[in-house]
Amino acid sequence: MPRPIVLVNPLDKAMPINLNVVYEHLGLGCLASVLRQKGFDVTIIDAHARGLENNEVIETTKKENPRLLGLSATYRTLCEALEIARAVKASCDDVHITLGGEQATFAAEDILRSEPYVDSLVRGEGEATVVELAEAVYNKRPLKGIAGIFCREQGEICKNPDRPAIEDLDSLPFPSRDTLEYCLKEGKPTMIGVLASRGCYNSCTFCNSHYFLRMGGGSVWRARSPKNVADELEVLDKKYDLESLHSMVHFYDVSFFDRSRKRKQWAKEVASEIISRGLDFQFAVYCRADCIDPANLEDLELLRLLKRAGLSDVFIGLEAGSQAMLDVYKKNVTVKQNKQVLKVFNENRILTMTNGFIMFNPYTTMDDLRRNAEFLLETEQATYWNFAQKLQLFPGVAIIEMLRKDGLLEPEYAHTSVYAYRFADSRMKKIASSLLELCDDDIMVKENSLVRYMSLQTLLVENKVLQNPRVRDDETLIRSMSEHKEQILTSKRQIQKNNYSFFMKCVDLAESGWKDEIFKAYKPQFLKSTDELLSSMSTAFAAFVRFINKSIDKKQ
């Protein structure tokens, strides 16, 4: 019997699994599906979902004895992937090891040069490429000429041409759901992932998605037909009951819709398909700040339609509350638009708790820090995570060349050293590094994870309750629910004010001449107050859940 293919998603130690809902690794699900369609035996080891350390992944993989091992590697999991690859290569005869993902794509040549146990890298979209790779490996054919592959042939690095983007996404099978099946069996809360479109019209200087999704050419943006998207959702609904109280579908599209008329029309048709089929679930999307113009009636109608279809949460690429920083990132949006889009989503009871934000970049000024902080507090985005994030120089992002030209890129920059840059204002170095380091404290990890989780679950439960005609007409119940929710929101605002105050003290310290001993004196009280406020919010959330469960039981 042919040896299997094993696909691995390594453990991301920066995202503690016990504090987060599990997100399916949809990329591996897509690859497994096309490989299985071609008759290959495929095992997915989602180490992050299962909480498996590297040694456990290695032992499990060795037992499978794969002919082909594929590892997904982000910046945060590249070291884990390489450790697994090295150990499996030493134990399994004739195993071919390949890496995929954005980090592997843009650092392919460097990885092949430095890691001899890696045989190939899949660049860009992987479905068509991985099938050709598997067929070549199993039939012992050379990899030279396979589009989308960088590999090693006879000791030399072979850079095959990039593969054009897949135009007909409807031709792909629906993703395999191994991770979802596991999470449901083990009782782990999970988000169901769907990828409905690919591509991005924008080319922000800090992001490589625009290039990754069309490396070999082809359309900038491609979408599955609304019918095909709804077909998959219908299959998921029948199999996993999307209507269950805490379920959530997460659309992984880089931007589900934006300012273009074409993409808005497509989003409208997807929403209409969901509604017409009677599918009842809540979902989350990524989008840009210019996706909705509050002065445009058609845009507001689209938003209301998406809300009816189940849109409950959006991740917006805000990035900054300073116009100067937005311009550095080439966002082509204004601070005013950032504020407007948050306001219009919140008015439509759509959560905007988790958004993209980059507090520090090499060009940041003290004025930028203050403008960013005021923006975060005003818009209720003042999580500690947002106050502490530094620009990461992922391979393939355009800002790298800007920094090189301006003399701000460190000579040792490599794809594994994403913070290898200097600040134009040297005072930024200590505040930026000190705040980012504090993100790893257990209390701040909790602040980042629990506040988001409780905010999201509160909204999901509230939305579900309000959809129930037997409950929403009970004025006493609705009033009591609102009071419980307000206690949660009050705690969240207190946490954000605490974050803001601490950050502003640090800005003052950086401006007057940073002293480590003063910063170290600030930290204990900040951590103590954060822990107390988290406890208060958790108590309010627990009371909210108990109230809802008790109230719903009475209505049954």
Average pLDDT estimate for 213-232? 93
The whole-number average pLDDT for the span 352-360 is 92
pLDDT, residue 475, reads 82
Range 29-52 average pLDDT: 96
Are 303 and 273 within 8 A, CB to CB?
A: no
Which residues, 6+ apart, have CB-to-CB distance to 533 below 8 Å? 491, 494, 495, 498
> What are the extents of the domains in the chain?
5-159, 189-357
**415, 107 contact by CB (below 8 A):** yes
Render pLDDT for 142-198 as a digit per residue (tens, 0 to 9): 999 999 999 988 888 999 999 999 999 999 999 999 999 998 898 888 889 999 999
Q: What are phi and psi of 58, to 5 degrees?
A: -60, -45
- Give the DSSP H/E element, type plus range, for residue 344: helix 335-347
Q: Please state, in angstroms and rounded to a whole number, the distance separating the CA atoms of residues 315 and 319.
A: 11
Using pLDDT thresholds of 50, 70 and 90, give the confidence band for residue 18: low
Strands of 37-181, DSSP E: 42-46, 68-72, 96-100, 120-122, 149-153, 156-159
Class of domain 189-357: alpha beta
Task: Give the whole-angstrom CA distance, residue 217 versus residue 212.
Answer: 10
Q: Distance between CA 112 and CA 469 in Å, rounded?
A: 60
Beta strands in 288-398 (DSSP E): 311-319, 356-357
Range with lowest mean pLDDT among 141-150, 240-249, 412-421: 240-249
Same fold, 5-159 and 189-357: no
For residue 23, pLDDT beyond 90: no
Distances (CA, A) of 336 to 201, 346, 412: 22, 15, 38
What is 5-159's CATH superfamily? Response regulator (3.40.50.2300)
Query: How deeply is 494 buried, as exposed, middle or buried, from its count of CB atoms within 10 A (0-12, 13-18, 19+)?
Result: middle
Buried b (16+ CB within 10 A) or exposed e, 414-439: ebeebeebebeeebbebbbebbbebb
